Amino acid sequence: MDEATKILGVHPKTIQKWDREGKIRCVRTVGGGEEYWRAG
């Protein structure tokens, strides 16, 4: 998520909010490691 916050220039909570609202989609690794965010 750090990369996404830097690219988008927003706070991590904003990205989480956008995920809940369906504005973006969160893709997590199987092991629950890094999170990758992309436009949905």
pLDDT in tens, 12-29: 899 889 888 988 877 777
- Residue bearing the bigger pLDDT, 3 or 37: 3
How far is residue 10's CA from residue 31's CA, in Å, rounded to a whole number?
Answer: 26
pTM of the model: 0.65
Tokens for 19?
Answer: 């995920």
User: Side chain identity at 5, as an amino acid letter?
Assistant: T
User: Side chain identity at 35, as an amino acid letter?
Assistant: E
Task: Count Cβ neighbours within 10 Å for each residue of 1-14 and write b for 16 or more, e otherwise.
Answer: eeebeeeeeeeeee
Q: What is the pLDDT of residue 33?
A: 61
Tally of helices (H runs) and strands (E runs) in the chain: 2, 2
